[in-house]
Amino acid sequence: MSPSGRVDPYPTYERLRAHGTVVQAGPVFSVVTGYAEADAILRDARFGVMDDDLRDQFLPGWRESPAVLSISRSMLRTNPPDHSRMRRLAAGAFTPRRIAAMRDVVEAQADRLVDGMLARGRDGAPADFMAEFAYPLPVGVICALLGVPAADRPLFRRWATDLTGVLEPEITPEELAVADRGAGELRDYFTELVAARRRSPADDLTTALVQAHDGDGDRLSGDELLANLIVLLVAGFETTTNLLGNGLVVLLDHPRDAAALRDHPEFAPGYVDELLRYDSPVQLTSRMSTEPTRHGGVDLPAGSWLIVMLGAANRDPGRYPEPERFDPWRPQVHPLSFGAGPHYCLGAGLARLEAQVAFPLLLRRLPGLALAGRGERRVRLTLRGYATLPVTVGDGASPVTDRGTPAGATGSTP
């Protein structure tokens, strides 16, 4: 939980793993580092997210916090049947068919952003990849789904950064005040958007959720409507923004693999899954047990609180040999970065599509793309990413000189 530990948690994960795949840190508190154990717990119906009674116990006064209230009333932090009810209302926007149909839109947006990077970087001046590409691409896509006007998109980065501090395992009163400010601004924005959609319905997800609320309040309460709009927006770009930033650094640090992806964009699905495994944009989640269970050789009584370290599970040597090595040709990669089970990320397919489009396009259109420094990591553990990432677009001469296909890749897709 130290600043250095949040910036680079992987050495600490291995120290934890040396004590077991499930490590008891107190009478009812455990940390999960093993892949098999994390996957099983996330799928086990005997585990759920923290409910109101437990929030009352651990976070007295939480109802006075706009940030905690917004998260707790969304599908992110509710259990069945409420979770299932809310998730069904939004799921239609994220079906595989609808996501596949968005490829052309994503490609067009990514091309325009690269045009902008080229125009601003022709004199060799560095650009901030996070601000110029990694944020505007996914925020543009999710805002289009929600029906948020394009002119409003720049507002959300600071608001979301402020709000997501509440997802950290620990938060100071000062940090909570910042999160509350972000939540308040987001609630004010979506209150106005909901009113606008009542006056003028549109073909977007906001209108669909408003109509679900207005048509039958039992399907979606007013608090749930605002909370889910906030979470859909924030989750719709935060994870993908971090995936794009983390992934670009890895690719530029591995030029031979980057060259293969540039020349063979059809390899992108395997690359993206390995990038998700290697440096997950979401590092942890939590679960509470409702019944006594046993995982990783540890007895977990009812009421146990588990921190499931997704980033550690993705680097479990029992599941992935040489887990510290980036290997896009690694077989059977199934990262837990988007979770598993009932709370599996609703937008995982969309995030994968955006990354699968973005990385080959960046490498092809910006052959001279290079890091202009190591960037500034956000001092966060739950959502792992960069605050800034300076890059130069080059003059067309590629720093990736080996254009061959890596050994083991011939005739196969990673």
pLDDT computed for residue 343 by the predictor:
96
3-state secondary structure 112-147: HHHHHHHHHHCCCCCEEHHHHHHCHHHHHHHHHHHC
Structural tokens at position 10: 């992987």
pLDDT computed for residue 365 by the predictor:
97
Distance CA 138, CA 354 (A): 7
pLDDT computed for residue 54 by the predictor:
83
Q: Which stretch of DSSP H or E encloses residue 220?
A: none
Distance CA 159, CA 151 (A): 15
Q: Please give the DSSP secondary-structure letter assigned to residue 405.
A: P
Tens-place pLDDT, residues 340-349: 999 999 999 9
C-alpha gyration radius of the chain: 21
Query: Do residues 38 and 310 lie in contact, with contact meaning Cβ atoms separated by under 8 Å?
Result: yes
pLDDT computed for residue 400 by the predictor:
43
Instruction: For 142, list phi and psi in degrees, rounded to 5.
Output: -70, -35
Tens-place pLDDT, residues 358-413: 999 999 999 999 999 889 999 999 999 999 999 999 764 444 433 334 434 433 33
Tens-place pLDDT, residues 60-106: 888 999 999 999 999 999 999 999 999 999 998 899 999 999 999 99
Structural tokens at position 86: 């809310």
pLDDT computed for residue 218 by the predictor:
64
Q: How many residues does the chain have?
A: 414
User: What pTM does this model have?
Assistant: 0.93
Instruction: For 291, list phi and psi in degrees, rounded to 5.
Output: -140, 160
Q: Which stretch of DSSP H or E encloses residue 236?
A: helix 222-253
Q: Cα separations (Å) of 399 from 1, 147, 258, 355, 402? A: 37, 40, 10, 22, 9
Q: Where are the alpha helices (DSSP H) in 254-402?
A: 255-263, 268-278, 310-313, 348-365
pLDDT computed for residue 229 by the predictor:
95
Residue 345, exposed/middle/buried by CB under 10 A (0-12, 13-18, 19+)?
Answer: middle
Low-confidence ranges of the chain (pLDDT < 70): 216-218, 395-414
Amino acid symbol at 86: M
Distance CA 243, CA 314 (A): 15
